[in-house]
Amino acid sequence: MKTIDLRSDTVTLPSPEMRQAIAEAELGDDVFGDDPTVNRLEAMAAEVMGKDAALLTTSGTQSNLAAMLAHCQRGDEVIVGDEAHILHYEAGGAFALGGLGLRPVRNDDQGRLDLGEVRSAIRGHDVHFPPTGLVCLENTHNRCGGSVLSEDDLAAVRRLADEYGLPVHLDGARLFNAAVALGVHVSRLARYVDSVAFSLCKGLACPVGSVLCGSGEFIARARRFRKMLGGGMRQAGIIAAAGVYALENMVDRLAEDHENARLLAEGLSSIPGISLAPPPQSDLVFFTAKGWDLEELVGRLGERGVLCLDEGGRIRMVTHYGIERRDVEEALVRVRELMAAGA
Ligand SMILES: Cc1ncc(COP(=O)(O)O)c(C=O)c1O
């Protein structure tokens, strides 16, 4: 029985061509700035995002933390959505390592920040208050179901931040998914923010890495923080080569993942007891199953070779490179059979 791993788009394995690119990568010591493949990836990433400079990091978590540190001073407050990955899943690095406060404001089900709440959360100059240092956005939005922020959504936050002279950072771990879903070039989404981090190791199917992009001065500061966080890597061209390959070859195919997610969602919603929570907009599919303990359902699906995650009251399935249409169809057969057999 084939295992169909729908837990995350991070479970992707590099394609034979990507492995070849890794094997043939020209290398140097990147901490000395000498790795030509890292330099190439950073130049490509800056260009595709329409920014001046870029920095390869070990992970999305490291990119986001380096970005917060580079934008803010110790003691500042960072405005984030109450469903933000930075708030929920990054081990509290902003508090623990950065001396930064995270100030949550409401995300709607589309992953947008409530602009009224953002405005009230921005601190005045009274000495009692911690200064507001940064506003963070997420696109696509993980906990809001892989939802996509439009250009209008991003522009509205930009305008508000500009009123107060605040920088905006975008956690764009899946920004290419957002661009593909909207049918726009990714730079159109990045132009509303001062800095953007995108993941190599999710839909782009690289084994590791993330890239942070922004102004030259910002990236120089972030580079020092990356070093402090243990992310100064030596012959990192091994990693960057996969990123270069991915930027050239793995972006457009994200549309297939979205199509497979739509197919999966359609099939799931036709199974009695299953409700989508919400319908997918990109590669993430969330659903509930009436009458089932979800942890048990995930376990029983696992026994049938369909791997997914129980994400606190919802099950998450993610389509990605390595999951074909026939895998989605097979997964649906197995879910349907299990559900028909009953809890
Ligand atoms: C929206 C978002 N931001 C950041 C991250 C963190 O990325 P990493 O796992 O590479 O640290 C993730 C990981 O799933 C994510 O979904």
In tens, the pLDDT along 252-306 reads 999 999 999 999 999 999 999 999 988 899 999 999 999 999 999 999 999 999 9
Q: pLDDT at position 312, please?
A: 83
Rg, C-alpha atoms of the chain: 20
The answer, yes or no, to whether any atom of ligand 1 lies below 6 A from the CB of 173, is yes
**Cross-strand pairs, 5:** 307
Q: Which atom of ligand 1 is nearest to the CA of 174?
A: 1
Nearest residue (CA) to ligand 1, atom 6: 60
Q: pLDDT at position 12, please?
A: 97
Cα torsion angle, 29, 31, 36, 40, sign: positive
pTM value surpassing 0.85: yes
Compute the distance from residue 160 Cα to the ligand 1 centre, in Å: 26
Nearest residue (CA) to ligand 1, atom 8: 60
Nearest residue (CA) to ligand 1, atom 16: 142
Strands 168-171 and 132-138: parallel
**Cross-strand pairs, 57:** 210
Percentage of residues in the chain having pLDDT higher than 70: 100
The answer, yes or no, to whether any atom of ligand 1 lies below 6 A from the CB of 39, is no
The answer, yes or no, to whether any atom of ligand 1 lies below 6 A from the CB of 171, is yes
Compute the distance from residue 61 Cα to the ligand 1 centre, in Å: 6
Contact at 8 Å (CB) between 101 and 38?
A: no
The answer, yes or no, to whether any atom of ligand 1 lies below 6 A from the CB of 60, is yes
The answer, yes or no, to whether any atom of ligand 1 lies below 6 A from the CB of 281, is no
Compute the distance from residue 333 Cα to the ligand 1 centre, in Å: 30
Compute the distance from residue 66 Cα to the ligand 1 centre, in Å: 14
The answer, yes or no, to whether any atom of ligand 1 lies below 6 A from the CB of 142, is yes
The answer, yes or no, to whether any atom of ligand 1 lies below 6 A from the CB of 210, is yes
Q: Which atom of ligand 1 is nearest to the CA of 141?
A: 1
- Cα 218 to Cα 221: distance, rounded to the nearest angstrom: 5
Residue by residue, pLDDT tens for the chain (343 residues) are 999 999 999 999 999 999 999 999 999 999 999 999 999 999 999 999 999 999 999 999 999 999 999 999 999 999 999 999 999 999 999 999 999 999 999 999 999 999 999 999 999 889 999 999 999 999 999 999 999 999 999 999 999 999 999 999 999 999 999 999 999 999 999 999 999 999 999 999 999 999 999 999 999 999 999 999 999 999 999 999 999 999 999 999 999 999 999 999 999 999 999 999 888 999 999 999 999 999 999 999 999 999 999 998 999 999 999 999 999 999 999 999 999 887 6
Q: Which atom of ligand 1 is nearest to the CA of 63?
A: 11
Q: pLDDT at position 341, please?
A: 83
- Cα 76 to Cα 87: distance, rounded to the nearest angstrom: 15
Pocket test for ligand 1, best of 9, 61, 138 (most atoms within 8 A of CB): 61
Contact at 8 Å (CB) between 47 and 104?
A: no
User: Within a 10 A sphere around the Cβ of 331, how many other Cβ atoms?
Assistant: 27
The CA dihedral of 166, 172, 178, 183, to the nearest 10 degrees, is 70
Q: pLDDT at position 343, please?
A: 64
Q: Which atom of ligand 1 is nearest to the CA of 201?
A: 10
Compute the distance from residue 64 Cα to the ligand 1 centre, in Å: 9
